[in-house]
Chains A and B, each alone.
Chain A
Amino acid sequence: MAQIRSITDINEKIQKGEAVVVTAEEVISLVEEYGAEETARRVDVVTTGTFGPMCSSGAFLNLGHPTPRMRMSKVYLNGVNAYGGIAAVDVFLGATEIPDTDPANQNYPGSFNYGGAHVIEDLVAGKQVFLEASSYGTDCYPRQKLEAWIKLEDINEAYLFNPRNCYQNYNVAVNLSDRTIYTYMGILKPRLGNANYCSAGQLSPLLNDPLYRTVGVGTKLFLGGDIGYVSWYGTQHNPCGARGENDVPRTPAGTLALIGDLKKMKSKWLRGVSYLGYGVTLQVGVGLPIPVLDVDVLRHAAVKDGDIVAQVVDYSESYPQGIGGSLGEVTYAQLKSGSITVQGKEIPTAPLSSYPKAKEIAETLKQWIIAGDFTLTEPVASLPSADSGKKSKPLKASK
């Protein structure tokens, strides 16, 4: 495939204020009007976006040294445990952690009103958070107890580090059983009462670069309202599953591990949310810019909802029991129409990932690039793709 432009060429145009940038939604109509080749010649960058629940998220915090010094072992922020099994005053605050006092699903379905994701949102919003720490004490770190009110600005370093974000495609969840079930895919009513899906479809980052041709380790992107970077491929990155003729995965596939400075992020794009009967998670805003290096990259970025399919999966038995299997395939165009047909029954659909906010992110990133505030990066290593042979293995329990 003949290259049209390099990332260096694009950055020169960005700096001169001449780059042509469109969102992954806008590019669809351009291709319909001018064809892929002409559009690829005209457009330098396509921006994508997603704003959905991403459980595998969290933040590394360095809380600073008190006097006397302390090697914090057990650390709580607003009652939520932050993992202290690293250096003295470093902790990792996971999005899905809940207070030890939360009754969880003992009071089924639990409401999970507050957890790690909410602490992250509160910190980013500039709120005071109550820190409690304890330690066994050492000669070099004698202090054993500490309480303090802290704010994000008081913390030395705070960075978001999400091991798995931006799932490339996802299941459509339904319930075949006779009772309502409460899942990370939302509330599912009995006997195919509703279907929930969770992807921005044609705007979703990895669905627009299905073979990871432009995204790689080191790629700069929109994360939580500021800039972030791809630090690695995400956990459960599974690039070798079934794909359509347009190279788009038909099942959950690639993922990204992302990193960025929490201090610069905005609580609008990092929201703590509660899934009834399931738990707490962080709704994360991510936007990936795609440099149009050649016609193929552009064709991929112009994918539309009608050409992306997802599998309908039963979350009452097939998913929890790890049986596998799909009840059928539907397109995102069908999902967005408000109803799909499964086993001959028409059922209403609802998204969990916000399409209008995904669009706002793609639009924001586009404006950053047009204004010359955001340039593109060359990846320093590529992500395992469809030809990598990478597989996800199940865990064999011994008991």
Chain B
Amino acid sequence: MVRRKLVLRFPASAVENPFVYTLAKEYNVVANILKANINPRKEGRLVVELYAEEKDYEAAIDFLQSRGVTILPLAQQIVWVEENCTQCGACTGICPTGALWIKRPEMTVSFDGEKCIVCEHCLKACPARAVEARYLSGE
């Protein structure tokens, strides 16, 4: 099985096709939509996670490309929203790399993006939901 996160860019002509349905029905690919930006008759953008057998996955990609869908790899970034952070420190025990860390003795929490490996552990560990994942395509 493969599990990939991708950005799909749809030409205006293809936006109204039921791709998610076709992927599931004809290719046995589970498409989990992480973010959708679709307007009728305009170019659309979907951030998806595809989950399938290797050969089904490849057939599905061929199908999408044949319909004019551009497929881009997904880069993800963790964003620490400082104004939502209550400075509790709960994330620092969970973050495996010290990207979310406590300055001592002040006990203030900060985020060092350089150290972050985007493991996403902090997303749900943060009680105040002050950490967010932002999806950036390789565009």
Contacts and interface: CB of A to CB of B under 8 A. Distances in A.
A355 interface: yes
Interface residues of A, number: 32
Contacts of A251: none
Contacts of A350: 89-94, 102
A337 B107 CA distance: 9
A192 B125 CA distance: 18
Contacts of B92: 350
Nearest to A305: B105
Interface residues of B, number: 20
B104 A196 contact: no
B127 A53 contact: yes
B87 interface: yes
B106 interface: yes
Contacts of A356: 87, 106-108
A274 B87 contact: no
A352 interface: yes
B contacts with A: majority SS: loop
Interface string B77-108: 00000000011111111100000001011111
For A189, A351, A352, the residue with the greatest tally of chain B CB atoms inside 10 Å of its CB is: A351
Interface in A82-113: 109, 111, 113
A109 to B, nearest CB: 8
Contacts of A70: none
A392 B55 CA distance: 63
A51 interface: yes
A273 interface: yes
Interface string B112-136: 0000000000001101110000000
Contacts of A190: none
A51 B86 contact: yes
For A52, A271, A273, A353, the residue with the greatest tally of chain B CB atoms inside 10 Å of its CB is: A273
A318 B73 CA distance: 47
A53 to B, nearest CB: 7
Given A196-B93, A283-B127, A356-B108, A338 B87 contact: no
A268 to B, nearest CB: 9
Contacts of B86: 51, 271, 273, 283, 354, 357
Interface of B: 86-94, 102, 104-108, 124-125, 127-129
9 contacts: A194-B93, A274-B129, A283-B127, A338-B104, A351-B90, A352-B89, A353-B88, A354-B86, A356-B106
